[in-house]
Structure 1
Amino acid sequence: MTGNAPTAIKICGLQTEQVIRDIQSLPITYIGLVFAPSRRQVTAQQAAKLIRAVKESPEPLRPKAAGVFVNPTLELLEQTMEEAQLDVIQLHGQESPAFCTQVQQRFGVDIFKAISFSAASACSASEPVRPAAWQVAEYGNSVSALLLDTHDPVHGGGSGKTFSWEVIPEFYEQAHQAGMKLFIAGGLNPENVSRLLDTYDLDGVDISSGVETDGVKDVNKIKQFVRRVIGL
């Protein structure tokens, strides 16, 4: 339930120009390009080509490009931004509010901060300590959106598993009080996203493995996911 505002849609882990062109008629808000170690990782040079393909989309439907990083240095972000003009920097590690502020001030783009939870059916000893809902306000001065995701012990996110959605209302309230939007990721797919949106207030959804077949982005699944989000 998102009120009158449309739910933002982020398709993460894109790697080919052809898929971007195949989905350019869809109302996708963000495409995610993964710079952190992952099977979906791209280089800054590859990202630049993908962003050029994004800019071929008609203006009303042109998504923004979000780069996903895990505990990057400012120097790495600088090198990446020189090559690939990202609209959003998504920080998916243990980045502090102070670091997020540095990044926002240095690059002047929207900052998304991911907060990871253990999978709903398991608890991982390697899961990093996450801030409590009341602590997210510390990110409000520099972060545009919080993204709740399921922790992956190797790559941080992209686990393909859901977390316990019962925490969403508290984080939604705290995020909005601090002037941030709330996105949900982790284990979403065309089959469960309608239940998520029917049950909880949130501002956006983020999907990667849930629209893949054999580890490759599946355009038909992306279309199906988008239709479910917009209520078709």
Structure 2
Amino acid sequence: MKLKICGMKYPENILEVGALLPDYMGFIFYEKSARYFNGTIPELIKTIKKAGVFVNESVENIINKINEHNLQAVQLHGEESVAFCQELKNKMDNKIEIIKVFSVGDDFDFEVVKPFENVCNYFLFDTKGKLPGGNGTTFDWKILKNYKSDKPFFLSGGIGLEEIAAIKNLKLPVYAIDVNSRFEIESGLKNKNLLTNFKRKLEIVNL
């Protein structure tokens, strides 16, 4: 399982966390978010993929951000349609990873993800809450037993050190673990020591 650290905001902290070599770092380009990123991403080691997080943004604006920040992945956290994902995929000539987010509650129907299988590289399952993301709570992972697709996915939603044991027991195509609010000193400012500990424990799970 790979590691994505999302909601990065401050240049010094970005470099500090980047030294841990996560597989992905996420930058939120949604103005209503407390973790809204409106700066310049400092130079990162090339193995770290930069993911832009968008909520109901236009294809044109997403492509502008991809080019401005040299993003390798796009995370769609709104109500983007299959046609929208297809348009973005076509205009980027398949050169960008598209991650479609689904907010999961107790009554979530995994049938809704099927139409997106051919237009996205990955799904991301987050906790349904008041905000598009960063609500800081986990959903009941038992519902994932209803996931029948072979499409690898990111698992998100209030994941902290306490969830490591449950992650170890997942028998599903989890491509990456996505962490954010549980490792923050304040919105957008990550605790490097906690992340170091989590990454080490996640690596043990992967053995």
**In structure 2, distance between residues paired with 1:190 and 1:161:** 13
**Are 2:98 and 1:85 equivalent residues in the alignment?**
no
**Are 2:99 and 1:112 equivalent residues in the alignment?**
yes
Q: Which amino acid aligns with 2:34?
A: R
Task: Give 5+ residue unaligned stretches, structure 1.
Answer: 1-6, 124-129
Shift in Å at residue 84 of structure 1? 1.5
SS at match of 1:53: coil
Shift in Å at residue 162 of structure 1? 0.8
Show CA shifts across 1:64-118 (max 9, x none). Answer: 0000001111122133223221100100011111111111111231100000023
Q: Which amino acid aligns with 1:204?
A: A
Q: TM-score, normalised on structure 1?
A: 0.79
Query: Which residue of structure 1 aligns with residue 154 of structure 2?
Result: 183
**In structure 2, distance between residues paired with 1:24 and 1:78:** 24
Show CA shifts across 1:119-154 (max 9, x none). Answer: x7xx9xxxxxx6x3233221111101110001232x
Report if the CA contact (8 A) 1:27-1:226 is conserved: no
2:51 pairs with one of 53, 66, 88: 66
Show CA shifts across 1:38-61 (max 9, x none). Answer: 110012xx1xx32x421xx2x5xx
**In structure 2, distance between residues paired with 1:35 and 1:152:** 19
**In structure 2, distance between residues paired with 1:150 and 1:83:** 30
**In structure 2, distance between residues paired with 1:150 and 1:38:** 16
Segments of 4+ in structure 1 off by > 4 A?
none
Structure 1 segment 41-56 matched on structure 2, within 5 A: 41-43=36-38, 46=39, 49-50=40-41, 52-54=42-44
Size of the aligned set, in residue pairs, is 200
1:166 pairs with one of 139, 142, 148: 142
Q: Which amino acid aligns with 1:223?
A: T
1:136 pairs with one of 107, 113, 126: 113
Query: Which residue of structure 2 aligns with residue 127 of structure 1?
Result: none
Shift in Å at residue 194 of structure 1? 2.9
Deviates more, 1:206-215 or 1:63-72: 206-215
Query: Which residue of structure 1 aligns with residue 123 of structure 2?
Result: 146
Q: Which amino acid aligns with 2:157?
A: G
Shift in Å at residue 167 of structure 1? 1.6
SS at match of 1:159: coil
RMSD after superposition:
1.9
Query: Which residue of structure 2 aligns with residue 218 of structure 1?
Result: 191
Task: Give 5+ residue unaligned stretches, structure 2.
Answer: none
Query: Which residue of structure 1 aligns with residue 170 of structure 2?
Result: 199
